[in-house]
Amino acid sequence: MGAPLIGVLALQGAFREHQRALEACGASTRLVRLPEDLEGLDGLVIPGGESTTMIALMRRMGLLEPVREAVERGLPTLGTCAGMIVLARRITDGLPDQESLAALDITVRRNGYGRQVDSFETELEVRDLEGGPFPGVFIRAPLVLDPGNAQVLASHQGRPVAVRQGRVMALAFHPELSGDLRLHREFLELVEGARAA
């Protein structure tokens, strides 16, 4: 098997940084802007940015349903920050009737860390991650009110900030801005597991 091909949703937000991080880990990448860009992917990253805009653009580009189906069929997917919101089943403080992919059984509150701490950096203990704490860069991050059936991989002040359910991983923070590639590698391991299955 050659390098895995990871799609990075590139409608808006921090997609270039994810692309760079994935390539630094040895993956091939493709920017996803159209439904046909999903063809043949081994994994998908939904970046940070602005979740309401991202979802509106996904709908406009005809990507919402194809992405939903691909994730449902088991495409390994990593969502960060806004990407976590896009994947969440329940969203509070979004737009009325904010749509989502509903791929992760979590409840999130948009911008849930409040104004004073709207951006911050903190060290996170991530389950089974070797090499010490992970630098968590939070920017107007979603607050996970309830992880539902998702497995919690890391918490901050008693709230989940990294979760996984099956082949879907979501982080409330921005690993692509931290200069630490360990969580991208972790995701690529999940991708390799799915390819080998």
Contacts of 10 (CB under 8 A, 6+ apart): 31, 32, 33, 47
Counting contacts by CB under 6 A, is residue 12 touching ligand GLN?
Answer: no
Among 20, 23, 30, 50, the residue binding ligand GLN under the rule CB under 6 A is 50
Query: Phi and psi at residue 123, in whole multiples of 5°?
Result: -85, 135
Residue 107 phi, psi (nearest 5): -110, 125
Least distance in Å: CB of 48 to ligand GLN? 3
- Of 4, 7, 43, 48, which lies in the binding site for ligand GLN, with binding defined by CB under 6 A? 48
Q: What is the token pair recorded at 105?
A: 């059984």
Amino acid 135 reads: P
Whether residue 99 lies in the annotated active site:
no
d(CA 50, CA 14): 10
Q: Which is nearer to ligand GLN, 30 or 140 (CB)?
A: 140
Taking CB under 6 A as the rule, does residue 85 contact ligand GLN?
yes
- Under the criterion CB under 6 A, does residue 49 sit at the interface with ligand GLN? yes
Site for ligand GLN in 64-83 (CB under 6 A): 81-82
State how far the Cα of 138 lies from the Cα of 42, in Å rounded to an integer: 27
Instruction: Identify the active-site residue in 81, 156, 184, 186.
Output: 81
The set of catalytic residues is: 81, 174, 176
